[in-house]
């Protein structure tokens, strides 16, 4: 199968694209390149078009069999940088790409959304039919995208929505703006795990490799099992309170301590998810990780690569910091489009017809 992966140079895309290739698929990535040089180790060499998803047309996608859409402003702080841009990219550009794919005759369209769409939801275990209650522009943009792409579904165009739990784990393009990755990094480099809330909020967690396994399993699943469906991605057993995560990290990283920031109260973002639906309808999805194993993997990787305390705030590993760096340096304009083509960019686009011969 020929698959387009948008956001191939992101945290998930850098893991997913090589896994798809290992499964025997032909993969072409599409990425703006904002985070291409933000490496942690050596990313796999995956063919990539350096393009903005806001500019793709039907002629760009028509030769593919499926699209996996990861590209987005990828978390709450980044989404709040400029809410108008968050809606323009995460909502409007996603719907536009879906329309382009439908026009071009693409059958399978897999969208990476988020369990942050549930927002402030308390202690109940949430199934996919639960009400949305997003509390940030990021979560709201994902809700809007889901609703409008779902309306495009028909007998020929089949979208599926993967509501990922909070990701963690090692990636060739590491992020330290994710709770477990951050806790382990802080424990290793400073000996302190700082909790900024009261530690009570719930978070479902899922390893980045298991997110990728979910995409692969849904791509293999019969169309009727996943057509225009949303799936919580993770394990029901992998819901944790923030203080539990901190304790696991403290037990993993020797000589580390948990501290609470002064004045930290409950976080409005609080939700637990039930992942029974994907277990029932997509039995090919077999997650392999849990938080304790993931904390150990991260700790060992940080040791091996010599992570430092300075890395905790480096634009290399913080997505908001990287974009602010590019904006302040004049490399991106206020619409997050390149002012000049960066030197790390490869070929803008290679003719797919030639690649498929």
- 43 falls within a domain: yes
Where is average pLDDT lowest: 71-75, 192-196, 200-204, 256-260?
71-75
- pLDDT recorded at residue 9: 96
**Residue 325 lies inside a defined structural domain of this protein:** yes
Which helix (DSSP H) or strand (DSSP E) does residue 305 occupy? Answer: helix 291-305
Question: Can you tell me the distance from the alpha carbon of 2 to that of 345, in angstroms, rounded to the nearest whole number?
Answer: 23
Q: pLDDT category, 357, cuts 50, 70, 90?
A: low
Q: What's 153's domain CATH number?
A: 3.40.50.720
pLDDT at 199 over 80: yes
Instruction: Please answer whether residues 269 and 119 qualify as being in contact, where contact means their C-beta atoms are separated by less than 8 angstroms.
Output: yes
Model pLDDT, residue 268 = 72
Distance CA 330, CA 338 (A): 9
| pTM metric for this prediction | 0.95
Q: 121: pLDDT confidence band, cut at 50, 70 and 90? A: confident
Which tens digits make up the pLDDT trace of 264-321?
A: 666 777 899 999 999 999 999 999 999 999 999 999 999 999 999 999 999 999 999 9
Q: Which of 76-85, 131-140, 209-218, 312-321 has the lowest mean pLDDT?
A: 76-85
Q: What is the pLDDT of residues 232-271, one digit of tens each?
A: 999 999 999 999 999 999 999 999 999 998 876 667 778 9
Instruction: Give the least confident one: 79-93, 184-198, 302-316.
Output: 79-93
- The domain of 348 spans 2-170+206-236+273-289+321-356
Examine residue 160 and state whether it is found in any structural domain, yes or no.
yes
Assess contact for 234 and 204: CB atoms under 8 A. yes
Q: Could you tell me if residue 212 is inside a domain?
A: yes
Chain centroid, CA 279 distance in Å:
21
User: Is 242 within a domain?
Assistant: no
Give the pLDDT of residue 354: 54
Q: How many domains does the chain have?
A: 1
Q: 198 in a domain, yes or no?
A: no
Decide if 136 is inside a domain. Answer: yes
How many helices (H) and strands (E) in the chain? Answer: 14, 14
């Amino acid at each position: 199968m020929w698959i387009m992966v948008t956001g191939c140079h992101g945290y998930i895309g850098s893991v997913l694209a090589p896994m798809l290739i290992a499964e025997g698929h032909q993969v072409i990535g599409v990425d703006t390149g904002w985070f291409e040089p933000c490496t942690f180790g050596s990313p796999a060499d995956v063919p990539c078009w350096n393009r903005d998803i806001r500019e793709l047309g039907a002629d760009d996608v028509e030769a593919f069999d499926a699209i996996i859409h990861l590209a987005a402003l990828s978390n709450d702080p980044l989404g709040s940088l400029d809410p108008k841009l968050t809606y323009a990219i995460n909502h409007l550009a996603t719907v536009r790409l879906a329309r382009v794919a439908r026009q071009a005759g693409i059958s399978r369209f897999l969208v990476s959304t988020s369990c942050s769409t549930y927002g402030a939801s308390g202690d109940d275990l949430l199934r996919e039919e639960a009400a949305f209650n997003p509390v940030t522009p990021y979560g709201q943009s994902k809700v809007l995208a889901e609703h409008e792409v779902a309306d495009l579904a028909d007998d020929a165009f089949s979208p599926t929505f993967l509501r990922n739990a909070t990701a963690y784990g090692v990636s060739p393009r590491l992020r330290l703006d994710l709770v477990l990755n951050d806790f382990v990094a802080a424990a290793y480099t400073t000996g302190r795990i700082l909790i900024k809330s009261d530690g009570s909020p719930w978070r479902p967690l899922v390893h980045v490799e298991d997110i990728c396994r979910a995409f692969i399993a849904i791509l293999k699943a019969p169309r009727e099992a996943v057509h225009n469906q949303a799936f919580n991605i993770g394990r029901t057993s992998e819901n944790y309170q923030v203080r539990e995560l901190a304790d696991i990290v403290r037990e993993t990283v020797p000589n580390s301590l948990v501290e609470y920031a002064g004045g930290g109260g409950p976080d409005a973002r609080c939700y637990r998810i039930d992942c029974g639906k994907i277990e029932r309808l997509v039995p090919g999805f077999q997650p392999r990780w849990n938080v304790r194993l993931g904390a150990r993997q991260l700790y060992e990787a940080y040791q091996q690569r010599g992570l430092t305390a300075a890395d905790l705030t480096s634009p290399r590993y913080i997505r908001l910091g990287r974009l602010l760096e590019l904006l302040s340096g004049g490399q991106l304009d206020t619409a997050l489009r390149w002012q000049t083509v960066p030197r790390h960019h490869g070929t803008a686009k290679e003719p797919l017809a030639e690649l498929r011969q």
